[in-house]
């Protein structure tokens, strides 16, 4: 199983990762080897086996819908890379 350069670039795009040419080449080799190793899972017949998403019994947890103190806005904004007028500043969303 060998990924093409285009496939690696496509995955990087989906993951919003800007990669250099060297990184694309490195990950192409490494991911191909790892996926090859994963292929051993294909030999198991699992047609009758249900998937496990969580080991806990699934249940809904509800709480009363009432106002309670939240996080402090000023403190939250202190972590933002760019701030303006009490809001987080970002580059244009639409071109």
Name the residues that contact other proteins, by CB under 8 A.
Answer: 8, 11-12, 14-19, 23, 27, 30-31, 33-35, 37-38, 40-42, 44, 46, 49-56, 61, 63, 71-72, 75-76, 78-82, 88, 90-93, 95
3-state DSSP assignment of residue 27: helix
Instruction: For the CB of residue 48, give the shortest distance to other proteins in the complex, in Å.
Output: 9
Instruction: For the CB of residue 75, give the shortest distance to other proteins in the complex, in Å.
Output: 4
Nearer to other proteins, 41 or 85 (CB): 41
Burial of 8 (0-12, 13-18, 19+ CB in 10 A): buried
Instruction: For the CB of residue 30, give the shortest distance to other proteins in the complex, in Å.
Output: 6
Q: How far apart are CA 34 and CA 11, in angstroms?
A: 15
Say if residues 44 and 10 touch (Cβ distance below 8 Å). no
Say if residues 8 and 24 touch (Cβ distance below 8 Å). yes
Instruction: For the CB of residue 17, give the shortest distance to other proteins in the complex, in Å.
Output: 5
């Amino acid at each position: 199983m060998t990924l093409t350069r285009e496939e690696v670039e496509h995955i990087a795009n989906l993951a919003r990762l800007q990669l250099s040419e060297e990184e694309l080449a490195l990950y192409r080799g490494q991911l191909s080897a790892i996926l090859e190793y994963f292929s051993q899972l294909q030999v198991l017949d699992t047609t009758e086996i249900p998937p496990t998403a969580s080991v806990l019994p699934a249940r809904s947890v509800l709480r009363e819908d009432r106002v309670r103190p939240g996080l402090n806005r000023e403190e939250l904004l202190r972590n933002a890379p760019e701030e303006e007028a009490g809001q987080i500043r970002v580059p244009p969303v639409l071109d």
